[in-house]
A and B are shown apart, each in its own frame.
Chain A
Amino acid sequence: MKDWKYWVAEQRGTLFAFVTFVVMFTIYVSNHPAGFTANVVQTAANKGVLLAFVAMAQALVVITAGIDLSVGMIFILTNCLASWIVVGTPLETALGIVGVLLAGLACGAVNGLIVIYGRLQPIVTTIATGAIFFGIALLLRPFPGGGVNEDLADFLTGKIWGVVPVSLLVLVAVVLLVWVPFSRSVMGRAAYATGSSEAAAYMSGMPIRRAKFLTYTLAGLLAGIGGLFLTFFTYTGEAALASGNAYTLFSIAAVVLGGVSLYGGTGSAIGAVFGALAFRAIGDLLFVFDLDPLWQPLFQGVVLLIAVSLGAFALLRVRNKLDWFT
């Protein structure tokens, strides 16, 4: 095989997600009453970027064959925290942003510590820590409110040179600064190896514990960036349980659409980003086709159910029935 064929085989999930996104977004834009304008792209980007950050967070953990059901709650917690501290002079705002990101890191690190060094199951652990994070968010913001540095918020949710949404540039920057170095490092390799076969990775002397710990911690950071952006969009902090649950659910949907295997070991966070953007575009199709917004939860649920069912086609390639049972 030629080099590019290997590359295509490796990136199949990501490419599929990219194509899905392009198709869905084309349908969305071509039916949008305003058409393909900078404002439509800006609105779509701002909504998509929020989910993209949370989906990247989920993808990192899923690659190691884990799951983080608390990403939505970290997202909400950092939103509530940001509505307190990302205000005031530029220096105060900068310190506030650092504080919010550190809080996200800390939440992720707590998950990582309990799952890896406490040796508990990620599902139960992250449901429980999710309750803790939500409780803290509720302590910070018993009622919706607070504020944010509005100049910065307007800049980051606006357009640069009149066309390019700044939020998309930030997303690209985060991918380049967090995901690319991570996936090319020894830790990134170890994370993939752990997801493929933890026993084999252990036998090969991979630093599996540190790699898993790093993925949970980075997941916290990425969810924190998402929470920060939520504050920039809404100008407030709100401890909304339903919103946290929805983002956790959508992050899993985005990861699946993005071609990251839930059994671990394959896919990339870039795929998850396109998965998130595609999922948002699919969800918004209802609006451009002028359907009742009441149908949106059902529509998103059905899309999610179909997306996860597509994975069943892999069964057709299984020759030995015993390989069904992993």
Chain B
Amino acid sequence: MSEISSSGRQRSNRQALWRRIDPAVATAFGCIVLLLLVGSIYSPNFLHLDYLLLQLKVASFLGVIATGAMLVILLGQIDLSSPWTITTGAMMACAAAAYGPVGVALAIPFGILCGVAIGIVNGIGVAYLRIPAMIVTLATNAVAQGLMVVYTGGFSPQDEATEAMRYIATGFLIPGVPNAVLVWAVVGAGAVFLLTRTTFGRAVYGIGNSERAAYLSGIDTRHILVIAFAIAGGLAAFGGVLLAGYSSKAAQSMGDVYLLPAIAAVVLGGTSILGGRGSYLGTVAGAILITLLQSILSVMQIPEAGRQVIYGVVIVIMLLLYGRAPASR
């Protein structure tokens, strides 16, 4: 009797496990394995630990930025201001470093704070003024770009990244594991906690499914929207700080190349672009997948033009595989 029930429980556990695995996340991980296999046929170095750790390090910059993008996409909104939020974060952190020891100490928080400020403007536009997110974030992106052009005079600034910025991007706290990966792990753990263990996270999923229903259940949805956009802005700027630490200085339009990858990482990871559905594990898979794809294309020495084309085609194909909206009935 007890045996039957225990085996029954086991079966139901196994079924529950199967049901919990998101097909999109599984596909994304499958594609990662496939890319590694294809790469290893091309060059055996692809399966070396050093190479994999390097890729993980590069992926962690994208991962931090994609975390913010995911939060906004879960709400059913989109943040197109990330390119210049990244650049602003990087430039302002480097600029703060020029102001003596206090500036050096506050460089990282100051950079992040600038991103949070941009995010709050986005959030107010979306939540209180009810402007479509796509439009208001494009506008703040243009304003941030304008501010940075005025600040730098249109040239790449001469300020250098601080020691601390370089350390969190390129150092090794634990031998063998790059610090950037640790940073991503911390950010990721924070995101998972926020999304699955707090009322804020529940509210984010609720608003993504139906803001009207969330509002009627007593959630101050506008407040949540502003906070989420602020976090997304802060994370994008933090990504910029990391990138500035990695290359030891900020550059004009350094964030432009991250817009499509960040959104693609989230969407390829199975998060619904309409909001309300998605897991952080998927975003991790998406960020690694995109980084590997970029790396393999560059190892194969395909020129920038070809990379752009392949990149766009792959994203469209993967979305067609599992990102389709239901047919109208």
A interface residues with partner B (beta carbon < 8 Å): 67, 114, 118-121, 123-125, 127-132, 134-139, 142, 198-199, 202, 208, 239, 241-242, 245, 249, 252-253, 256, 262-263, 294-302, 304-305, 308-309, 311-312, 315, 321-322, 324-325
Contact = CB atoms under 8 A, between A and B. Distances in A.
Given A118-B324, A294-B150, A325-B212, A301 B143 contact: yes
A297 B136 CA distance: 16
Given A123-B273, A304-B139, A311-B131, A131 B311 contact: yes
A221 to B, nearest CB: 21
Contacts of A321: 215
Given A119-B325, A249-B138, A263-B132, A132 B305 contact: no
9 contacts: A127-B263, A128-B260, A128-B264, A128-B315, A128-B316, A134-B308, A252-B138, A301-B142, A301-B144
Given A135-B309, A135-B311, 12 more contacts: A131-B315, A135-B304, A137-B305, A142-B305, A239-B305, A249-B141, A252-B138, A295-B146, A298-B146, A301-B145, A301-B146, A308-B136
Nearest to B140: A305
B227 interface: no
B27 to A, nearest CB: 16
A124 B319 contact: yes
Nearest to B266: A124
Nearest to A296: B146
A114 B271 CA distance: 19
Contact of B306 (A119, A129, A139, A249): A139
B146 A119 contact: no
Contacts of A304: 138-139, 142-143
Contact of A135 (B139, B267, B306, B327): B306
Interface in B224-251: none
A121 B313 contact: no
A135 B136 CA distance: 27
A199 B327 CA distance: 12
A315 B305 contact: no
Contacts of A123: 78, 134, 273
B160 interface: no
A121 B274 CA distance: 8
Interface in B191-249: 210-212, 215-216, 221
A305 B221 CA distance: 23
A120 to B, nearest CB: 5
A295 B150 contact: yes
B17 interface: no
Interface in B88-134: 125, 128-132, 134
Contacts of A298: 143, 145-147, 149-150
Contact of B131 (A199, A245, A296, A312): A312
B138 A120 contact: no
Given A297-B149, A300-B142, A130 B312 contact: yes
A82 to B, nearest CB: 18
Contacts of B182: none
Given A121-B274, A199-B328, A127 B131 contact: no
A298 B140 CA distance: 10
A322 B215 contact: yes
B256 to A, nearest CB: 7
A136 B306 CA distance: 8
Contacts of B78: 123
B325 to A, nearest CB: 5
B153 A124 contact: no
A129 B130 contact: no
Contacts of B288: none
Contacts of B277: none
B150 A131 contact: no
B203 to A, nearest CB: 14
Interface in B294-320: 303-313, 315-316, 319-320
Contacts of A297: 142, 145-146, 149-150
A301 B143 CA distance: 4
A142 B146 CA distance: 28
A245 B309 contact: no
A119 B139 contact: no
A253 B319 CA distance: 28
A294 B307 contact: no
A139 B326 CA distance: 36
Most buried by B among A131, A142, A263, A315: A131
B135 interface: yes
Nearest to B211: A325
Contacts of A198: 328
A138 B308 contact: yes
Contact of A119 (B259, B263, B324): B324
Contacts of B134: 67, 123, 262
B253 interface: yes
A113 to B, nearest CB: 10
B171 interface: no
B175 interface: no
A258 B239 CA distance: 36
B129 A125 contact: no
A223 B241 CA distance: 37
A132 B320 contact: no
Nearest to A127: B260
